[in-house]
Amino acid sequence: MVIKQQAQAGTFESSDMLVLVEPVSEGTGRIIELHSPVMIQFGKSIKEEIINVLDEYEIKDVRLICNDKGALSATISARVETAIRRALMIQDGVLPSK
């Protein structure tokens, strides 16, 4: 699927992750920028969790800026999925857009 617009999900609060999704030109691939206080211990895991969601939605080209504050994997995948769905404009059960 192709990212159509910029979108974000999550917050800066402790145990959360703020995810910013940006569209990039076709063929750019997946650019993942991750900032996390637990980079050494969990950087690899977090990247894997992010990639799993990208795989699930078959996203080939995207830029993700992730600001982690010690989120657990359930939260990471939730925030990435929410941001991706918003960026794909396929959110369901939301207020109708203006």
Residues that bind another protein (CB under 8 A): 9-10, 13-16, 37-38, 40-45, 69-75, 77-79, 81-82, 85-86, 91-96
Give min distance, CB of 73 to another protein, in A.
6
Specify the residue, 25 or 97, whose C-beta has the smaller distance to another protein: 97
Give min distance, CB of 8 to another protein, in A.
10
Give min distance, CB of 15 to another protein, in A.
4
Q: Long-range CB contacts (< 8 A, 24+ apart) of 43-47?
A: 45/73, 46/76
